Amino acid sequence: MRVILHAGFHKTGTTTLQKALERNAKTLAPCLRLIPRAALQPAGRAARAYSIASDPLELALFQYELAQALEEGLDITGDDPRPLLMSCEDLAGQMPGRSGVESYGAAPVLMHATVETLRQLWPGLRTELYFSTRAAEAWLASLHAQHLRACRMELDANTFAARYRAAADLEAVVDRIAAAVAPVPVHRAALEQSRTRKLGPLDPLLDLCDLPTALRAALKPHPPANTSAPADCAAELLTLNRSNLDDRALRAAKQALLTGRG
């Protein structure tokens, strides 16, 4: 049996990729088994918790939640020849810049634990990992914009980029993951190249799946999702984050601002 796991990274077109998978799920079904991101969210939460605390108990919980998602979502005793495809960026841990996390330093440990969990479920399994990456400056800008919306980020974009620049070398993170899980194949593709293709960030992932040409041609793209707010909106979000509003009022003010710009 073959499993292909897209496990990161945040702000590299992951939402667009996952939306495209959802949109094309019925078309892909004859050739692929898909585990929806929602089913992997408990494992993703545990992965984020481990990346925050480095607690071995959190790592064990991560493995448990991952096994639960797979055992509940699949008939693992059958002879289904279709590869299993999964996508959940939280499996690489918490995004840098939140909850005290400075980098994807926990990702190699999480991916090694993922591979071991899959091996325990399915002896003889052929596992492959895939990561979408992004150029450092664009990734830092997108990550900062995400934090402005989702949490009380009070750093401006330049200060944020300077503080987290060491975390932005996603290619180096993939290299460390590859070393941690060897000899498991680890693939990668940069958003700067994939975004110009018909299906955007989904295309390089499907390149690994050996789909029939006719089926591949029938797939439909999904427009870019979870994109950054305009610069003037980002400035207003930063002002709100630096205000003395309590958390509830801050969330309401942000929602009003973003809804008005939607």
| Predicted confidence (pLDDT) per residue in 161-219, tens digit | 999 999 999 999 999 999 999 999 999 999 999 999 999 999 999 999 999 999 999 99
What gap in Å lies between CA 163 and CA 147, rounded to an integer?
A: 14
Note the pLDDT of residue 78. 61
pLDDT over 80 (residue 22) = yes
Res. 137: pLDDT tops 90 = yes
- 99-118 burial: b if 16+ Cβ within 10 Å, else e: eebebbebbbbbbbbbbebb
- What is the average pLDDT value for the chain, to the nearest integer? 94
Average the pLDDT over 108-134 and give the result.
95
Rounded Cα distance between 91 and 111, Å, is: 8
Q: 216-245: per-residue pLDDT in tens?
A: 999 999 998 877 777 789 999 999 999 999
Domains and CATH numbers, the chain: 2-139+168-225 (3.40.50)
Q: Quick one: pLDDT band at residue 106, thresholds 50, 70, 90?
A: very high
Give pLDDT, residue 166. 95
Give the least confident one: 43-52, 73-82, 120-129, 150-159. Answer: 73-82
pTM, 2 dp: 0.93
Q: How confident is the model at residue 94 (pLDDT cuts 50, 70, 90)?
A: very high
Contact yes or no for 34/28 (Cβ under 8 A): yes
Residue 74: pLDDT over 90: no
Q: Is the pLDDT of residue 261 over 70?
A: no
CB distance 88 to 44 below 8 Å: yes
* Run of H or E residues at 179: helix 170-181
Please, are residues 8 and 91 in contact by the beta-carbon 8 Å criterion? yes
Find the largest Cα–Cα distance for the chain: 59
Mean pLDDT, residues 95-120: 97
- Which residues contact residue 199 at a Cβ distance below 8 angstroms, ignoring those fewer than 6 apart? 20, 206, 219, 221, 222
* Ramachandran angles phi, psi of 31, nearest 5°: -120, -15
